[in-house]
Structure 1
Amino acid sequence: MEKLNTFFEKASGFVWGLPLLILLIGGGIFLLIYSRFVPFKYFGHAIQVLRGKYDNADDEGEITHFQALMTALSSTVGMGNIAGVAVAIAAGGPGAVFWMWVSGIVGMSTKFFTCSLAILYRGKDDSGKVQGGPMYFIVEGLGKNWKFLAVFFSLAGLIGALPVFNVNQLTQAVNDILLIPNGIQKGFFNDLVIGVILAMVTGIVILGGLDRISKTASRLVPAMVGLYFIAVLFILFVHLDVVPYYFKLIFTDAFAADNYRGDPLFGGVLGALIVLGIRRGAFSNEAGIGTAPMAHGATRTNEPIREGLVAMMGPFIDTIIVCTLTAMCILVTGVWQTSEANGVSLTAKAFSDTMPDFGTYILLVCIAIFSISSLFSYSYYGTKCLSFLIGTKYSHLYNYFYIASILLGATTSLSLMINVIDTFFALMAIPTMFTTLILAPKVMRKARIYFQNLKINKA
């Protein structure tokens, strides 16, 4: 395992180098400017679409706008928001949060384009069913000669969609919050038992297909965000006197990099801090990675721009709201300076310091819902990747591989799981962003027509 961890640590560092940074964030900034911030002006309209005002039962697709967003959010609003933010602050200090925000804002524009393309260039699988996602908009948008990019994305997606990080952190949370305080020591057997229970729960839901996944996600996601929001607001209220100081420190430390603890990059620690924040932000909101377009591509709509606007709300909820809540919770309690804990354990320390008797149990409930909902959505992504590669007849086989990987995630180290997912997320981002940048003019052509018609209809 140590050799495997070393390999993926080097692989992750290599693929997350300057070229990918330029493609992911530079490309996202280009899309932001190229769109002239127009999608942001229609945030209110996106909410109307989400509420079902424009739903049409006769449109192609399987799920509603709301179910698509909740399915996408159930994978993005997960352990990346609780453990990922903690990892970023532990390594980079408060300044890492600012660069996560940058990743989130840029990601809103990226998701607008990628998820519009998921509807604009939907394809059909070998059973004749309409499908969306990067592998389909690559082939349908760029042509059959570019199919190798779609295959590359799908192969990377088979590993990138595995739930190993979420399972690893949920297992750690159960040990730290529930078992160890009650005299049960952490060990391989206990971790395996937790993994088996998670595998059974996940199997019940994912073997029921997209309909069951989307319905479960649409119930769990709003509840988990609401509960977490209330809990963190209580922590911020208790430490209200230092909230302004730490909020300001996020901005000042973003450029000073005084609290960065890793190795320099691009000639200094600031470059390393920027990469750290962007990597953790991308891990959290998955903008440009290509996962969300697979969920939004299944939406029951014939209007690409509508789905792009709905998808744009994902990074806002995920990174700007939920990640900020976690970050402020860790900062105002001071645990980022006083504790050696990392990942979910650091967030748990913040909760237990403020609410000694019950805080960690509230966090455990949030973590359980965050993680389990993520397990459901990622399985759908992996299944779509496999069905593209070898056909829908065999796509169900991925679920068994997926369920088995839960046991791996529960019994291995945090660093290995982060490095594995970081590596394959990066590989998924390459074809997704490359194709999106080429096809961006097609999206904007549709957007101009859509927004013009919207103004006419309002008038």
Structure 2
Amino acid sequence: MQQLNDLLALIDSYIGGSDWFVYLLLGTGLFFTIYLKFPQIRFFGHALQIVRGKFDKDGDEGDTSHFQALATALSGTVGTGNIAGVALAIHLGGPAALFWMIMTAFLGMTTKFVEVTLSHKYREKSEDGTMAGGPMYYMKNAKATVFGKRINLKWMAILFAIATVLSSFGTGNMPQINSISHSMYATFGIDHMITGAVLSVVLGFVIIGGIHRIAKVTEKLVPGMALIYLIGALAVIFYNAENILPSLSAIFVDVFTGTAAVGGFLGAGFSFAFNRGVNRGLFSNEAGQGSAPIAHASAKAHEPVSEGMVAILEPFIDTIIICTITGLTLLSSGVWQEKLDNKFQNTDLEVLTYVYDENNQEDKDALYSHLSGKENVPMFSGQLNVVEGKITNTLTLLHARSIAEDVRVLKAADATDPTATETPYSGSLTVTNGKVDTGSDISIYGKSLVHSAPLTAEAFTRSFFGEYGQYIISIGLLLFAFSTAISWSYYGDRAMTFLLGSKSVIPYRVVYVAGFFFASFADTTIIWTLAGIAIALMTIPNLLGIILLRKDMKNTVNQYWKDFNDEWGDKKEIAPKKSETV
């Protein structure tokens, strides 16, 4: 399993985890923001009016309303990225990572506007009578101009559709149930497999009904789950009111310098905070990934730009509001820099040859260089000797990017005795180049930094609700992540429809539900690494596609405002003047 994770991490380092990918993502958003004259600001109010149905017409073709399409797309983005993803970004890059998540969202509002408009413009009606759209359809049906020649992007459409199917598992399926099952186990003690089995059955019933049932479920889930989460988060923030201003300062002050070591946090440089912030920002709001346009393509509308404007609201709600609130709960509560008692995951664990003291500046510098990939410290290889649960070797265990304390090694309980519990282990464990082989019956516990959903759950206990706050996270994560899995099943089946026709949808849904179950008890780190790869494989062709169709986009927006002013100008509707249009 460790070798698989190392291979996936290596692949991810060349695509989603690379600097060029980050610049491609931000650069595309920045280009269209300037090219279209900041549509995320100028069209924001107009987008709100469209969502309310002010300009709807009888006979508009589609399967869902503007609000249902927005809710479906939001349910696909508001998920573990908002709860676990923010915590992971701050864990890796410090408070400054949250700033880059917000900046990614601001530019992503324009990217969403472009990709949704083009996808809605070139959507088709599938064999079963439902609308089918998304980047694969604009790539297939639109003609791009390159060096004065008109070219077809169908090969990119096929690549994107294949990547969407993979990403439906790597983004919307496996990370979601994995986070749910871990949260339910940590909070209520429910076995991972039981959680996976129950929710897999529910998921199957929902997605069999297709987009109509999905839209009805998500339009009710999204507002409710957002309200529950908001109450819990604000309870943390105001309970720690004295830390609000220092937390805001930490987000912005260290943007270009990185975050220095504090508490159990060993520090993070600018490049790491920047890369992880943008990467987690994309995972959270999916701007540029091309997923949301698939949901918006089902919306009832007589022209595409209005639906593109609806999409502007997604990164704003998902990242600028919800992720910022999550970040403030983590920072104001202080849990992001505290060592907490937890069960160590082997993929987050390293055994170092020498003893390191985080109170010693030289040791901290050495560990910081190791964690940032600049200069590795010596890894231990040999036998780890354990007596009554205590490691007797003189060395250092590094877990979750922090020096582990109060380490305990326990042996699994007797499976035939329902009353049995874990007991202290005595014996030896083999360590190869810093990695421990614990087998299936040995677990290592101790105090270290934590990340992802467990970190956010801990932050929610530092509030007016006390220990009950963790239940808000468990319920919120259940609703957020489950709704994401529902939406991504639709994205995947639209991609399968594009590739193999409507008959392939049912087999795909069966595999999707099966994967959902098995991921409930898989290793978390591997799931997140796989998700990063899948995201990149969708994003790259989508970004290249919208850049090649930039003139098409500008002409479409210009035509929209011309038609809009002709129809609504005498009704005192506020629309951009001719001098303000793109």
Q: Assess same fold via TM > 0.5.
A: yes
Q: Which amino acid aligns with 1:278?
A: V
Is 1:342 the equivalent of 2:451?
Answer: yes
Q: CA deviation at 1:239?
A: 1.1
Deviations 1:379-434 (A, max 9, x none): 00111111111111122211111101112221111111111111011010011111
Is 1:170 the equivalent of 2:180?
Answer: yes
Judge conservation of contact 1:92–1:262 (CA < 8 Å) in 2. no
Q: CA deviation at 1:206?
A: 0.5
Q: Paired residue for 1:109?
A: 110
Tell me the SS of whatever aligns to 1:68: helix
Q: CA deviation at 1:126?
A: 4.8
Structure 1's unaligned 5+ residue stretches are 185-189
Judge conservation of contact 1:123–1:137 (CA < 8 Å) in 2. no
Q: Paired residue for 1:366?
A: 476
Deviations 1:12-40 (A, max 9, x none): 11112233223211111101111111342
Deviations 1:47-69 (A, max 9, x none): 11101112224122111110000
Deviations 1:174-209 (A, max 9, x none): 011111xxxx7xxxxx21111111101111101111
- In percent, how many aligned pairs have the same letter? 36
Q: Paired residue for 2:95?
A: 94
Q: In the aligned structure 1, how far is the partner of 2:537 from the partner of 2:467?
A: 44
Judge conservation of contact 1:100–1:319 (CA < 8 Å) in 2. yes
Q: In the aligned structure 2, how far is the partner of 1:128 from the partner of 1:139?
A: 19
Judge conservation of contact 1:121–1:137 (CA < 8 Å) in 2. yes
Q: Whose helix fraction is larger, Structure 1's or Structure 2's?
A: 1
Judge conservation of contact 2:288–2:539 (CA < 8 Å) in 1. yes
Is 1:207 the equivalent of 2:208?
Answer: yes
Q: In the aligned structure 1, how far is the partner of 2:33 from the partner of 2:283?
A: 20
Q: Paired residue for 2:168?
A: 161
Judge conservation of contact 1:55–1:64 (CA < 8 Å) in 2. no
Q: In the aligned structure 1, how far is the partner of 2:59 from the partner of 2:127?
A: 22
Tell me the SS of whatever aligns to 2:178: helix
**RMSD of Structure 2 on Structure 1 (CA):** 1.8
Judge conservation of contact 1:263–1:272 (CA < 8 Å) in 2. no
Judge conservation of contact 2:39–2:110 (CA < 8 Å) in 1. no
- Quickly say closer, same or farther: Cα 1:129–1:222, change in 2 above 3 A: closer
TM-score, structure 1 normalization: 0.93
Q: Paired residue for 1:195?
A: 196
Q: Whose strand fraction is larger, Structure 1's or Structure 2's?
A: 2
Question: Alignment length, in residue pairs?
Answer: 446
TM-score, structure 2 normalization: 0.74
Where do 4+ consecutive residues of structure 1 move more than 4 Å? 126-129, 259-264
**Which deviates further from its counterpart, 449-458 or 91-100?**
449-458
Q: Paired residue for 2:535?
A: 425
Judge conservation of contact 2:92–2:272 (CA < 8 Å) in 1. no
Q: Paired residue for 1:295?
A: 295
Deviations 1:212-236 (A, max 9, x none): 0011000000111111112111211
Q: CA deviation at 1:237?
A: 1.2
Q: In the aligned structure 1, how far is the partner of 2:79 from the partner of 2:131?
A: 28
Q: In the aligned structure 2, how far is the partner of 1:124 from the partner of 1:259?
A: 54
Is 1:148 the equivalent of 2:155?
Answer: yes
- Quickly say closer, same or farther: Cα 1:33–1:341, change in 2 above 3 A: same
Q: In the aligned structure 2, how far is the partner of 1:68 from the partner of 1:282?
A: 20
Q: CA deviation at 1:95?
A: 0.3
Q: Paired residue for 1:440?
A: 550
Q: Which amino acid aligns with 1:303?
A: E
Q: Which amino acid aligns with 1:360?
A: Q
Q: In the aligned structure 2, how far is the partner of 1:262 from the partner of 1:291?
A: 36
**Which deviates further from its counterpart, 162-171 or 52-61?**
52-61
Structure 2's unaligned 5+ residue stretches are 145-150, 340-448, 573-582
Judge conservation of contact 1:92–1:259 (CA < 8 Å) in 2. no
Q: In the aligned structure 2, how far is the partner of 1:449 from the partner of 1:381?
A: 29
Q: Which amino acid aligns with 1:307?
A: E
Q: Which amino acid aligns with 1:421?
A: A
Higher relative contact order (CA 8 A, sep 6+): 1
Q: Which amino acid aligns with 1:434?
A: L
**Which deviates further from its counterpart, 319-328 or 442-451?**
442-451
Q: Which amino acid aligns with 1:104?
A: A
Q: In the aligned structure 1, how far is the partner of 2:537 from the partner of 2:14?
A: 11
